[in-house]
Amino acid sequence: RSPAAEPAPAPAAAPQAPKPQQPARQVAESPSSASVVGVVVVAGQRSPETALRAAAASSLAVVFVAQSNDAEAAETARRAGIETVEVPDRALTAGRARNAGYRQLKKRLPDLQYVQFVDSDLTLDAQWLAGAARFMERRPEVAAIEGKIRFENEGSSVFARVSAIEINGEAGETDVVGANLFVRAAAFEGAGGFRGDLTVNETRDLCIRLRRRGAHIWRLDAWMGVVASRSDGLAGFWEASVHRGYEYAHGAALHGAPPDRLFAGERARALLWGAFLPSLVATAAIAAAVYAALFAPLSNPLLYGLSALAVGVLVYLIKVVVVAASLGGRPGAWPFAFWSTVGRVGEALGGFAYFLGRGKPRQKKPD
């Protein structure tokens, strides 16, 4: 059933005299008058103020979706004069929240052509919406697109730079895009909108259903926005790796079979480098030490064990070199190669969490 056909949650009463919106840092470029574009901003674990201000600067219709128990976020939107939809937090998923925002936007703009979905941690680039609309007008076969993302703390955090390389894939046609997508309204409705029962991968599932209907998905070589600073340090990086592994396992279970093969390779890679090979190396080291103790009494069992570990470390170092070389001279190639290899262990743990039914791991950055 089309999300536009479902009953929408009651929108929160708009203020009679909203305060003027704060000016954006840049002068936003609006899409051409021939395009009817709207924006849906979905509340997350970060303050939506910056995201709302950037969306409102486009002079387009903006709908903010907040959980009914998140009075602070709803009040922030009201102060900015932005229409707000409050949805019950019980059994709430990102898909349900986005569908609710879309339905309200469709009521406001019956002739809606394109919609930009935005998580509350993303500040849209001032030129993105106009450029996205122009691209979609030129390419009617394309149903959904995304652009490149910066992280606020890339200059001070090696982990943010690693995340930027991880998330910004090759420009051109792709199978799926991330949560902050610009989508054709007719195609979105034709596919039935987001699935409300998915805790993760709701956007990737939508992309697969769009492609099954003959549409194309695209990643543009243009800046879409800036993501709020992630948690600095190893703890934040590790948490993101575990979350990513959970997404890989969930996506592969959902659409991992041919022809889609969603995250089938990523899941296998995480299990190989994050679980199988570490276990193999540890087992080999223990076996070598035991062999030396039992059958070579004049030798040092510790040296045998360390020799086996050294072979395993060498294998991982070769992998780091290969990954860095594949990125050419791209800035941050070596840190990315090293930390992405380390992160495979976290991804494997996230995959195990999914298979053990422990539910969606917590993550500080909304997805």
> What pLDDT score was predicted for residue 23?
38
Domains within the chain, CATH numbers bracketed: 3-230 (3.90.550.10), 231-367 (no CATH)
> What token pair was written down for 247?
């997404």
Angstrom CA distances, 5 to 41, 98, 196, 197, stand at 20, 14, 15, 18
Tokens 């009075």 locate to 71
Which comes out higher in pLDDT, residue 347 or 60? 347
Give the pLDDT band (50/70/90) at residue 154: confident
* Phi/psi at 305 (5° precision): -65, -40
| CA 358 to chain centroid | 21
> What pLDDT score was predicted for residue 7?
46
> What pLDDT score was predicted for residue 72?
82
Q: What is the pTM of this model?
A: 0.85
Round the average pLDDT of the chain to a whole number and report it: 87
pLDDT in tens, 231-246: 668 888 999 999 999 9
Res 22 pLDDT > 60: no
What element of type H or E holds 239?
helix 234-255
Give the pLDDT band (50/70/90) at residue 25: very low
Angstrom CA distances, 221 to 119, 122, 145, 168, 171, stand at 20, 18, 11, 9, 5
Give the pLDDT band (50/70/90) at residue 8: very low
Tokens 């976290």 locate to 346
